[in-house]
A = this chain, B = another copy of it.
Amino acid sequence: MAGNTFGKAFKITTWGESHGKGIGVVVDGCPPRVPLNEAAIQEMLDRRRPGRSSISTKRKEPDRAKILSGIFEGKTTGMPISIMVENKDTDPSAYVPYAKLFRPGHGDFTYQAKYGIRDWRGGGRASARETVARVAGGAVAKALLESKNVRVTAYTVELGKIQATERELQEICRNPFCCPDRHAAQKMQQYVDAVRAKGDSIGGIVEIVACGVPCGLGEPVFDKLDADLAKALMSIGAVKGIEIGAGFSAARMLGSENNDPIVPDGFATNHAGGILAGISNGQDIVIRVAVKPIPSIRIEQKTIDLKGAPTTISIKGRHDISAIPRINVVCEAMVNLVLADHLLRQRTIQ
């Protein structure tokens, strides 16, 4: 019982390895007559593409989305939408030195243990390149949600140890870190430069806000909206923590502080992060995810080889220093997928 399908009413099934023939997604359940074209998908893929800033890998991936089915005369037909991105700049030779080693922090060890076979070329399916399919599928969800005025935005609120204190969303597209605080963004640049010089890597925190979500989405008691969002985001390789609204800080608040007073036009505060008892309450949905540092670093690390013998490894390939900000659009995609799924699920009881 593999796990390459996500969603129940709006579903994606993804496939593909880092250095295979391509990466793809089949979207099933998208309603008919939604306007959709390749440009809408390409726009999202371009935001994920590497090589746009000093923080990311130099690997060149044009990543052209091709829609193979499910569209007729510019609209969805209700049939499965198959989207494929061919792998172009695949150089498995760079991975030959690591074919018989387990890279720390990577899935090499666990994939080998689980499957007894492993496509070691670029990490195979455990590569972050897998997220191309999530972004493509998420772009279809986004097209559906836009017609309902739902918008999802992800931005960087922490990189390494540098925290954003402002939330000036217009700044997001003005600095390479997608940070809504331009002073913080400047410090991030210095920090990134210092880390790169040492051959190390960093993590950070991404905040995602969904605006315009109608009240009533989410399915108690297990498929609560926050539960599905937590799964969606935790399924992204680098994510190690998730919080909704006040999140971990709610654990330190009194009930009288944390409860959001209810007023005639909604809620006076939003510690709940837009979700009450697993159902959207009409407020903005606010989520933060903790992103671990990229495990591929030049600094020498202890490891073992396929036979279990101890050795060391230093990884020299083309790697990002941080999954942020390329991961941001992946986070948006996963949130869009969850919201589209629950939008359709809610219709079954109306």
> What separation, in Å, do the CA atoms of A271 and B5 have in the docked complex?
28
Task: Name the interface residues of A219-247: CB closer than 8 Å to any CB of B.
Answer: 219-224, 226-235, 237, 240-247
A287's closest neighbor in chain B, by CB? B241
When chains A and B are docked, how far (Å) is the Cα of A228 from the Cα of B160? 27
Residues of B within 8 A of A247 (CB): 240-241, 290
Q: Which residue of B lies closest to A260 (CB)?
A: B104
- Decide: B4 and A264 in contact? CB cutoff 8 A: no
Is A106's CB under 8 angstroms from B276's CB? yes
Number of copies: 4
Closest B residue, CB atoms, query A162: B252
Q: Check A255 against B161 for contact (C-beta < 8 Å).
A: no
Contacts of A263 in B (CB 8 A): 302, 304, 310
- Identify which of B17, B251, B304 contacts A79 (C-beta below 8 A): B17
Q: Closest CB-CB distance, A158 to chain B, in whole Å?
A: 6
Residues in chain B near residue A201, CB distance under 8 A: 254-256
Q: Is the CB of A254 within 8 A of B195?
A: yes
Stretch at the interface among A7-15, A53-61, A146-154, A182-190: A7-15
23 intermolecular pairs with C-beta atoms under 8 Å apart: A2-B349, A9-B348, A13-B13, A15-B80, A16-B68, A29-B349, A32-B117, A104-B262, A105-B255, A106-B276, A113-B216, A130-B221, A203-B251, A222-B231, A222-B232, A235-B278, A240-B243, A240-B273, A241-B244, A251-B291, A256-B299, A258-B292, A261-B301
Q: Which residues of B contact A126 (CB under 8 A)?
A: 220, 277
The reply to whether A33 and B303 contact each other, CB–CB distance below 8 Å, is: no
* A280: B residues at CB distance < 8 A: 110
List of 6 A-B pairs having minimum Cβ-Cβ separation, nearest first: A107-B277, A3-B223, A3-B219, A201-B255, A241-B243, A231-B231
CB within 8 Å for A348 and B350 given contacts A33-B116, A234-B226: no
Enumerate A39-84 residues with CB–CB distance to B below 8 Å.
Answer: 66, 68-70, 72-73, 75, 77-82, 84
B251/A68 in contact, CB under 8 A: no
CB distance from A110 to the nearest CB of B (A): 4
Residue A124 lies at the interface, judged by CB distance under 8 Å to chain B: yes
Contact residues, A312-350 vs B (CB, 8 A): 344-350
Closest approach, in angstroms, between the C-beta of A248 and any C-beta of chain B?
4
Give the distance in Å from the alpha carbon of A108 to the alpha carbon of B235 in the complex.
31
Residues of B contacting A220 in the complex (Cβ-Cβ under 8 angstroms):
2-4, 79, 107, 111, 125-126
Residue A28 lies at the interface, judged by CB distance under 8 Å to chain B: yes
Those of A186-221 within 8 Å (CB) of chain B: 195, 200-205, 215-221
> Chain B contacts of A278 at CB under 8 A?
107, 110, 235, 237
Q: A80-B2, A231-B227, A304-B262 are in contact. Are A72 and B124 (CB under 8 A)?
A: yes
The verdict on A268 contacting chain B, using a C-beta distance below 8 Å, is: yes
**A118 interface hit (Cβ, 8 Å):** yes
Question: Hey, which chain B residues are within 8 Å of A15, CB to CB?
Answer: 26, 68-70, 79-82
Whether the pair B253, A203 counts as a contact (CB closer than 8 A) is yes
